[in-house]
Amino acid sequence: MVDHQFKDGQSEYVFVKRNYGDPMRFGWLSLSLSPSLQEDNSRIHQTIQQVQEAEALGFKDVWLTEHYFTGESVYNDAIVFASALAMRTETIRLGFAVVQMPFHHPVRLATQLALLDNLSNGRIDVGVGKGTVFNEYEFIGYGLRSSDSRKRTQESLEILEKAWANKPLRYRGEFYDIDVPAIRPAPVQQPGPPIWRSVISADSFRECGRLGIPILTSRLPVSSIASRWKLYKEGLNEGGHDKNIQQQLLEKNALWRNVYVSGSDNQAEDELNEMLIKTRQHMMEVREELNPEDFTINPETLNDWTDPKVSHQQGAAMAIETGSIFGSPKKVKEQVAELRDAGVNHLLCQTGFGAMDNDSNLRSMRLFGNEVIPSFS
């Protein structure tokens, strides 16, 4: 299993070989939606409460999403929000799923994350991505277009890692021309906070393994988990990583699931289905309203959840089938055990969907924390 402990103010991972019955690691993920401008403030403070509750319930890490302009990820700026969380939590790690790299100047980002690593005493994990391929309006809001997001992200990552090296940085690229002295404060975690990638394609699993990068993945059917993990392991071998590093990375890798626990299986499925339909309705409406007319979505990236031509009921059914854990505590434990048996050691639990109210979210979290997590501890 993987766990972390604090030593001399720094966070370090301690790794031991995992047997079938060893504990799993559970993270909590926030993708909250505020339904109106008037509710934004209360929703932001409710999310802080939810994170504190997650820590008390035994979740080991919290992961923040980053979206803009529509009330989705109501806090918008996940880094600023994580600073507030660092002051209100003690042990839970603070992760980003993910930082949308094109929207951040890399030197500014390196400085902010280094400070956050100090504020949290070495508790941050940095998932990175090139931006949502369906939300062109977010790029336009920052004066950008998504067409060059991959190259822009790659440059930003190169600068980010070099900026944490505690020495002057000179960089000449297509998008950035940088000459800065050493950044202070330096991150607590050295050579820098762990950088994670969000992946779904088979090639990405192998490539991240080859590079030795921990991964976040979602909506991966149970039947595909073992084969994807196998590709990652093959990449680790191709990259020449030693066995200890391989074990560390395999224990870190995380699967993201919708999680909803209720009194009965039928009640949970009905309520989750309704919340996912409303979430998808909002998602499609803002894309239709805000994306420019000249923007087209690559059809290869579409599935039933993201395709606007698919009904909301069918889209929700796909999310339930491939990306959700739900039911009574007994059923949820069975579903978690199935994931564990497929090779998942680290499960990220999204317990809030769309404009779900705070009490319902906390109730589901507490059922999971009190009745499910102890069975895998």
Closest Cα partner for 130 from 66, 178, 70?
Answer: 66
Quote the distance between the C-alpha of residue 326 and its chain's center: 20
pLDDT at 21: 53
Which token pair is 242?
Answer: 């030693």
Interhelix angle 222-238/243-252, rounded to 10 degrees, is 150
Non-local (6+) Cβ contacts of 302 within 8 A are none
DSSP letters, 84-120, are HHHHH-SS-EEEEEEEEGGGS-HHHHHHHHHHHHHHT
* Pair type for strands 10-15 and 2-7: antiparallel
Which token pair is 198?
Answer: 């969000």
**How many Cβ atoms are within 10 Å of 360's Cβ, its own excluded?**
16
Q: In this predicted model, what pLDDT tens digit does every residue of 124-157 receive, in sequence order?
A: 999 999 999 999 999 999 999 999 999 999 999 9
- The answer to whether 218 and 324 are in contact (CB under 8 A) is no
CA distance 48 to 190: 28
123-146 b/e with 16+ CB inside 10 Å = b? bbbbbbbbbbebbbbbbbeeebeb
Give the dihedral of Cα atoms 256, 376, 18, 15; nearest 10 deg.
70
Q: Report, as ranges of residue numbers, the positions in the chain whose pLDDT lies below 50.
A: 1-20
CA distance 259 to 265: 13
Q: In this predicted model, what pLDDT tens digit does every residue of 350-366 receive, in sequence order?
A: 999 988 999 999 999 99
On the CB side of 32, CA atoms within 13 Å amount to 30
pLDDT at 22: 66
Mind spelling out the 3-state secondary structure of 195-209?
EEEECCCHHHHHHHH
Domains defined for the chain, CATH in brackets: 23-376 (3.20.20.30)
Per DSSP, which regions of the chain are E strands?
2-7, 10-15, 25-30, 61-64, 93-100, 124-129, 169-172, 177-180, 195-198, 215-218, 254-261, 324-327, 346-350
On the CB side of 359, CA atoms within 13 Å amount to 0
Q: Indicate the average pLDDT of the chain.
A: 93
343: left (phi over 0), alpha (psi -120 to 50) or beta: left
CA distance 296 to 294: 7
CA distance 140 to 135: 9
DSSP letters, 257-292, are EEEEE-SSHHHHHHHHHHHHHHHHHHHHHHHHHHS-
On the CB side of 26, CA atoms within 13 Å amount to 27
